[in-house]
Structure 1
Amino acid sequence: MADGTSQERAGNPARLRAVLVLGTAAGGVGVHVRSLARGLAARGVAVTVAGPAAAEEHFGFAGTGARFAPVEISAGPRPVDRAAVRALREACADAHVVHAHGLRAGLAAAAAIGRRPGRPGRTPLVLTLHNAVLASGPKGVLARVMEGRAVRAADVVLGASSDLVDRARALGAVDARLGPVGAPPPAARRDGRSVRAELGGGERPVVLAVGRLAPQKAYPVLLDAAAAWKTRAEVPLVVIAGDGPLRDALQGRIDAEDLPVRLLGHRDDVADLFAAADIAVLPSRWEARCLVAQEALAMGVPLVSTAVGGIPELVGDAAVLVDYGDAEALAEAVAALLDDPGRRASLAEAGRAQALTWPDEDDTVAQVLSVYEEPGPR
């Protein structure tokens, strides 16, 4: 796919030039892009990561062997601003391939390299879709229009789950494929007992949730479940690692209802938290190949999740799945596991086995590199 690769790389075959574009400074997208940048650079690709300055502060892309170019791609369903397009055009000036991650990044990249639906361009564009468009009302209408434009401007669309691939095809993608998101295996730095002591739960069971405090994650449903657990003889401590726009509202409800829940804010020791957890929960409205689910299963932490998006195909029979929005079912599933150590042990074993079936970080990098090196753009 990389335009001019055979001629321009003849004297120096190691210098395929790729620009990875992201429009967010948090979450699994940044983890994935950092993993790709490291793996591609290790294979001799000249990698530039373009995105918000806060993303570099959070993920340290420059430490992977990539160059970082600050481009402030605004959030939300509105047109990409011209300053971001100019900065991105400069970053992509000598790229053999541009790989955008997410809808906002895809729109900005398409504008920067002159790609439009049905209009070929010199520089190939790969778009990875990590999230579904969930907004409703006027914002949702605009977001879906922008989604279609981004998908149809790309040479290849990689979906992080099968439903995203189906959506891209329905929107007119020329080439849409499943693009599994591998992640480096988590490694705890501290033992679970010391982390539990820090959390202040004593010997109580620990139920862990990890993710941005945003509507998609459906944390109000988890708080409903936590209210039900208050009647248990041994009340579990629910800890939520992450930050976001709903923090004040969630904390207000926790205080008002005296719920056994702690908001931990952003943490860079998520693996340590998993080591301390008895159960992980994922109450989300939608997820693709959620890194939190991958980390929980890989570390042998029993997972209770909603059966949404790419979760069922990711976890198979190695997690307990409930319907989205059903707080009673979530509460009962967690309570049943807390009361059944044997079931927790079998899920831990099944989770580790399931994790071995997923593409790893090297597999993911190799797949992406093979896409880059396909014959040139349409």
Structure 2
Amino acid sequence: MTQPVTAGVAKVVLQLATAQHGRGWSVTVVCPPGGWLADRARAAGIDVRAWRAGRGPGPATASEVIRLRRILDRLAPDVVHLHSSKAGLAGRLAVRGALPTIFQPHLWSFQSANGPLRAAAVAWERFASRWTHQLVCVSDDELAAGRAEGVTAAAEVVCNGVDTDRLRPADRSAARRGLGLAEHAPTAVCVGRLAAQKGQDQLLSAWPAVLAEVPAARLVLVGDGPLAERWQTTLPVAAHHSVRWWGHSDAVAEHYAAADVVVLPSRAEGMALVPLEAMACARPVVAFDVGGVRQSVGGAGAVVPPGDVVALAGAIAARLADPALAAREGLLGRRRVDDLFGGDRVHERIATLVEKLTDPEVAR
């Protein structure tokens, strides 16, 4: 079950559902009908049930829980796997521990909230531990954040993974020609939903300093989201000729291939897929030191203090100005993904956890 039906969470859900379907399991994806997840899951032969649900909690949550309970009554599953905070809220209220329940936050709800809402989210996660048979965190940082706030459910860290057969190093010049980008300009690429959490405004704040060091640099922002129009109209650098607002793309692998460096300016993450995808394509990563980033990137780029736009700009400029450095880090990133973050490893770990919850013999 998931409420997000695009971007990283949807990718993880589709990968897991497809792998489990391939094992011969009976798998159903329960999600809202919008976005691409439902269509791609059906195309893979996976059963999909529509669950209408908004992104955040509110007055509609009660009816969302009732609708989810009805879906589960019809499906009678052996185990439910809840992805992200909204499904974690509605799913655990609907099931209340009556079925083996896996919860995978993909970033705790309290990490993107403030004030009374944050306090309520913390209180809920502590309470809901009693209805969580298995907590799955995507990074050591995510698990530590939960434990620090009193989340006591049995937990495993299963880092995100990527398809290293689909995401591979490719020719940079060919990718730029295919996308219509300047072939010889030093190019930074940022892939992500245009939302406060993803921090593209911080990257844009750093961009003038990058241009001061590398005047020919180009920035490509791939993605759309609720803050696209606001940022484009209120941030002075947004209209600079060096900045390209690409919008949504189904060809992110080509954008990674076109990059000299990939930037993740997020304010918070569980473990973002973007660094792993970039590394699989042998491109270095520059990112703020938020959840899971240091664990994923290692030495395949630069990890700078959260919100430090001066350090961010310096790290980006260094790689745009030194192709040899960027190439070395890119190759290191590819080896790191091959060794640690292949999708098959993730699928096997999750399958083992599911089997432990549903098969007493495996549990022993």
Whether these two folds match at TM > 0.5 is: yes
Does the CA-based 8 Å contact 2:189-2:220 persist in structure 1? yes
State TM-score, norm by structure 1.
0.86
Deviation of 1:339 after TM superposition, in Å, equals: 1.9
Residues 1-378 of structure 1: matches in 2 within 5 Å? 21-56=1-36, 60-78=40-58, 81-93=61-73, 94-113=76-95, 115=96, 120-121=97-98, 123-132=99-108, 133-170=111-148, 171-185=150-164, 186-187=166-167, 192-197=172-177, 198-232=179-213, 234-253=215-234, 258-259=239-240, 260-375=242-357
Does the CA-based 8 Å contact 1:127-1:158 persist in structure 2? yes
Percent identical = 32
Q: Residues of 2 paired with 1:246 and 1:48: CA distance?
A: 33
Deviation of 1:79 after TM superposition, in Å, equals: 5.8
Deviation of 1:347 after TM superposition, in Å, equals: 0.5
Deviation of 1:350 after TM superposition, in Å, equals: 0.9
Q: Secondary structure at the match of 1:231?
A: helix
Bigger mean CA deviation after superposition, 180-189 or 324-333: 180-189
Q: Deviations over 1:108-159 (max 9, x none)?
A: 111222x0xxxx42x1111011013221123323333333344442111001
Distance change in 2, residues 1:59/1:167 (3 Å) = farther
Q: Secondary structure at the match of 1:49?
A: strand
Distance change in 2, residues 1:98/1:204 (3 Å) = same
Deviation of 1:320 after TM superposition, in Å, equals: 1.0
Q: Secondary structure at the match of 1:174?
A: coil
Deviation of 1:27 after TM superposition, in Å, equals: 1.6
Q: Residues of 2 paired with 1:152 and 1:163: CA distance?
A: 22
Q: Deviations over 1:327-346 (max 9, x none)?
A: 11111111111222221121
Which runs of 5 or more residues in structure 1 are unaligned? 1-20
Does the CA-based 8 Å contact 1:98-1:126 persist in structure 2? yes
Q: Deviations over 1:265-320 (max 9, x none)?
A: 11110000111111111111122221100011111111111122111111212221
Which runs of 5 or more residues in structure 2 are unaligned? none
Matched residue count: 352
Deviation of 1:368 after TM superposition, in Å, equals: 1.2
Distance change in 2, residues 1:266/1:154 (3 Å) = same
Question: Which portions of structure 1, spanning 4 or more consecutive aligned residues, are displaced by more than 6 angstroms?
Answer: none
Distance change in 2, residues 1:370/1:243 (3 Å) = same
Q: Residues of 1 paired with 2:247 and 2:38: CA distance?
A: 14
Distance change in 2, residues 1:205/1:348 (3 Å) = same
Amino acid at match of 1:158: V
Deviation of 1:214 after TM superposition, in Å, equals: 0.9
Q: Secondary structure at the match of 1:365?
A: helix
State TM-score, norm by structure 2.
0.89
Deviation of 1:58 after TM superposition, in Å, equals: 6.5
Amino acid at match of 1:127: F
The structure carrying a bigger helix percent of its residues is 2
Deviation of 1:189 after TM superposition, in Å, equals: 11
